[in-house]
């Protein structure tokens, strides 16, 4: 056990990006990494370089722009994977390679078809090979929580001896429960002779909704690094949510004593919104800590209690996580100076071009909407930051709809110098628009998910459309906002097409 600091290892850009439908381009990854830096995370797992050239580039770019935290790349226990992480991180200030190999009987027999002895040998060789290039090596026995305890202890001891400075114990399939998982960590702390030479880390998935609980149980038993993601994104049901783990530790000092993290909790809300915006994964309203309802009180008894004394029904202060609530700040008559000032207060610093673009968007929104709230400003800025190339641009759309006619849409798009026009009918005005766009671009999208939510209250609120569309086997997200929800939907569809273009032709 090393001190009372719990290292926060953020894997939003790696495991988080494995969330079905979430995909980030390189610039978006860098934007998130810069915010993770502002949040105070200690380690950023920026990607899995061997998985694609795009991931290698993203890890390299993150390391170029973000120099305070350790930047980590994932590798299977093979030379090629480790070489690729080295290639991506050769200019990083504080590089780390994270090597993983499954150890559980299920994975050994069905996935790897290897005996225990082979696993031990491959793990040790991989760590030794990695240590030749990296001073900082982390090893993960994948599916650790379903691995025989004695074998797990044997692997952990061997990789530490081979040079791993961090051993990460993943609950890969989110199967463990807190008492059991805490017991696994305790067993390792008590039975691995060289355990003090490494930091023990945990990586808990959320298949049973226990990712954060298991991580908290682990730190009570000696783990000093927690791998987590913003908004709990991640493979399947996701990973332990960073904001929940950190606030759990902070709020319950009576249980966790002096255990603490370097996280600046006032940055949590902003980070959560940025990740949601760029990944396109909407935060459920009742999500702990950062959900829209986390600080709303619906019942009269609760409202009365909070008005009398906040602590009756509120365990955290919204301000502690940087949640400022809806505030009318600007309007039609507000000038550039007031706009810039408010953005600064919200923690945004934009370059000249970005600021011009955001101000233009603000002015056109203020023409349609009397009161501009902080949330509107955040939407304006973050949409401007979303760096999807506008290969296809919406020029014009028209839609007629009613209860006795078939909705019909006409759309004009621009692709470079080419003008694409089409018209089609659909089951509703939005469906008609989407079908028309499909016709114009000559592709067929299958809508998997469609949500429209209001950014703030009021009839003139900005509506944010968020969609997930499958074009054959490629799933992309799209997101856009407007005071007109049909326009927001059309723009979100065009945004999805641009993401598809970026994923396919754009890469080439």
- CA–CA gap between residue 104 and residue 149 (Å, rounded): 10
From 112-120, 168-176, 252-260, 410-418, span contacting ligand KIV (CB under 6 A): 168-176
- CA–CA gap between residue 486 and residue 462 (Å, rounded): 12
- Interface residue with ligand KIV among 104, 166, 172, 225 (CB under 6 A) is 172
From 109-117, 167-175, 218-226, 490-498, span contacting ligand KIV (CB under 6 A): 167-175
Using CA atoms, how far residue 39 sits from 7, 44, 120, 216, 288, in Å, is 13, 11, 37, 20, 18
Task: Show contacts with ligand KIV in window 121-140 (CB under 6 A).
Answer: 140
The two tokens of residue 463 are 């509506």
Question: By C-beta, is 12 or 140 nearer to ligand KIV?
Answer: 140
Question: By C-beta, is 172 or 498 nearer to ligand KIV?
Answer: 172
The two tokens of residue 349 are 């610093």
* CB within 8 Å of 155: residues ≥ 6 apart: 103, 119, 120, 123, 141, 147
Closest contact distance (angstroms) between CB of 221 and ligand KIV is: 19
143 is an interface residue for Zn ion by CB under 5 A: no
Q: Are 22 and 280 in contact (CB under 8 A)?
A: yes
361 binds, among ligand KIV, Zn ion, none (CB under 5 to 8 A by kind): none
- CA–CA gap between residue 123 and residue 105 (Å, rounded): 15
Question: By C-beta, is 212 or 432 nearer to Zn ion?
Answer: 212
> 51 by DSSP, 3-state: which?
helix
Closest contact distance (angstroms) between CB of 6 and ligand KIV is: 18
The two tokens of residue 359 are 């101000």
Using CA atoms, how far residue 443 sits from 55, 392, 494, in Å, is 27, 13, 12
Question: By C-beta, is 138 or 267 nearer to Zn ion?
Answer: 138
Q: Ramachandran region of residue 375, left (φ > 0), alpha (ψ -120 to 50) or beta?
A: alpha
Closest contact distance (angstroms) between CB of 171 and Zn ion is: 9
Closest contact distance (angstroms) between CB of 209 and ligand KIV is: 16
100 binds, among ligand KIV, Zn ion, none (CB under 5 to 8 A by kind): ligand KIV
Nearest to 223 by CA among 193, 195, 201: 201
Q: Are 61 and 95 in contact (CB under 8 A)?
A: no
One DSSP character per residue, 453-486 reads EESSSSTTPPEEEEEEEEETTEEEEEEEEESSHH
- Interface residue with ligand KIV among 142, 267, 375, 376 (CB under 6 A) is 142
Using CA atoms, how far residue 312 sits from 18, 217, 286, 302, 309, in Å, is 39, 27, 19, 8, 6
Q: What is the DSSP letter of 108?
A: I
Task: Show contacts with ligand KIV in window 83-102 (CB under 6 A).
Answer: 100
84 is an interface residue for Zn ion by CB under 5 A: no
Question: By C-beta, is 15 or 37 nearer to Zn ion?
Answer: 15
Q: Are 191 and 160 in contact (CB under 8 A)?
A: no
- Interface residue with ligand KIV among 15, 61, 464, 487 (CB under 6 A) is 15
Task: Show contacts with Zn ion in window 408-437 (CB under 5 A).
Answer: none
Strand partners, 100: 76, 140
15 is an interface residue for Zn ion by CB under 5 A: yes
Number of residues that bind ligand KIV (CB under 6 A): 9
From 65-73, 166-174, 464-472, 475-483, span contacting ligand KIV (CB under 6 A): 166-174
Task: Show contacts with ligand KIV in window 196-225 (CB under 6 A).
Answer: 203, 205
Closest contact distance (angstroms) between CB of 45 and ligand KIV is: 9
Question: By C-beta, is 15 or 464 nearer to Zn ion?
Answer: 15
Closest contact distance (angstroms) between CB of 409 and ligand KIV is: 43
Residues at the contact surface with ligand KIV, assessed by CB under 6 A: 15, 100, 140, 142, 168, 170, 172, 203, 205
Q: Which residues bind Zn ion (CB under 5 A)?
A: 15
């Amino acid at each position: 056990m090393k001190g009372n600091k719990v290292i926060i290892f953020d894997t939003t850009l790696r495991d988080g990006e494995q969330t079905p439908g979430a995909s980030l381009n390189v610039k978006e990854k860098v934007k998130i990494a810069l915010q993770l830096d502002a949040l105070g995370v200690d380690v950023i797992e920026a990607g899995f370089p061997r998985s694609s050239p795009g991931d290698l580039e993203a890890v390299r770019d993150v390391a170029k722009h973000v120099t305070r935290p350790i930047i980590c790349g994932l590798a299977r226990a093979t030379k090629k994977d480790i070489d690729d992480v080295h290639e991506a991180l050769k200019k990083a200030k504080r590089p780390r390679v994270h090597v993983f190999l499954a150890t559980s009987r299920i994975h050994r027999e069905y996935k790897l078809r290897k005996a225990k002895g082979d696993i031990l040998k491959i793990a040790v060789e991989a760590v030794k090979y990695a240590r030749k290039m990296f001073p900082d090596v982390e090893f993960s026995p994948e599916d650790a929580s379903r691995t025989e305890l004695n074998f797990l202890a044997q692997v952990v001891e061997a990789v530490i001896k081979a040079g791993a400075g961090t051993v990460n114990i993943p609950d890969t399939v989110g199967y463990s429960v807190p008492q059991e998982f805490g017991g696994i960590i305790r067993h390792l702390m008590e039975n691995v002779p060289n355990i003090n030479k490494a930091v023990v880390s945990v990586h808990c998935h959320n298949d049973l909704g226990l990712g954060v609980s298991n991580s908290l149980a682990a730190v009570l038993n000696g783990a000093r690094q927690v791998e987590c993601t913003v908004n709990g994104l991640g493979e399947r049901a996701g990973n332990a949510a960073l904001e929940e783990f950190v606030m759990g530790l902070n709020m319950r000092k009576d249980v966790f004593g002096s255990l603490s993290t370097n996280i600046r909790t006032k940055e949590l809300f902003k980070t959560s919104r940025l990740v949601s915006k760029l990944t396109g994964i909407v935060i459920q309203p009742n999500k702990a800590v950062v959900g829209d309802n986390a600080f709303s009180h619906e019942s009269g008894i609760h409202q009365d209690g909070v008005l009398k004394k906040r602590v009756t029904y509120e365990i955290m202060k919204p301000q502690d996580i940087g949640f400022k609530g809806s505030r009318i700040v600007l309007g039609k008559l507000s000038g550039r100076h007031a706009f810039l000032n408010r953005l600064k207060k919200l923690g945004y610093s934009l370059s000249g071009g970005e600021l011009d673009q955001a101000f233009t968007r603000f002015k056109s929104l203020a023409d349609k909407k009397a009161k501009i709230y902080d949330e509107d400003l955040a939407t304006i800025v973050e949409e401007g930051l979303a760096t999807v190339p506008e290969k296809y641009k919406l020029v014009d759309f028209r839609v007629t709809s009613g209860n006795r006619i078939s909705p019909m849409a006409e759309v004009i798009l621009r692709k470079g110098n080419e003008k694409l026009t089409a018209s089609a009918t659909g089951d509703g005005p939005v469906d008609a628009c989407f079908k028309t766009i499909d016709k114009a671009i000559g592709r067929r999208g299958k809508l998997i998910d469609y949500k429209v939510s209001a950014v703030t209250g009021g009839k003139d609120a900005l509506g944010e459309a968020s969609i997930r569309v499958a074009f054959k086997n490629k799933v992309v997200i799209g997101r856009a906002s407007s005071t007109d929800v049909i326009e927001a939907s059309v723009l979100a569809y065009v945004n999805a097409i641009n993401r598809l273009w970026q994923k396919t032709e754009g890469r080439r």
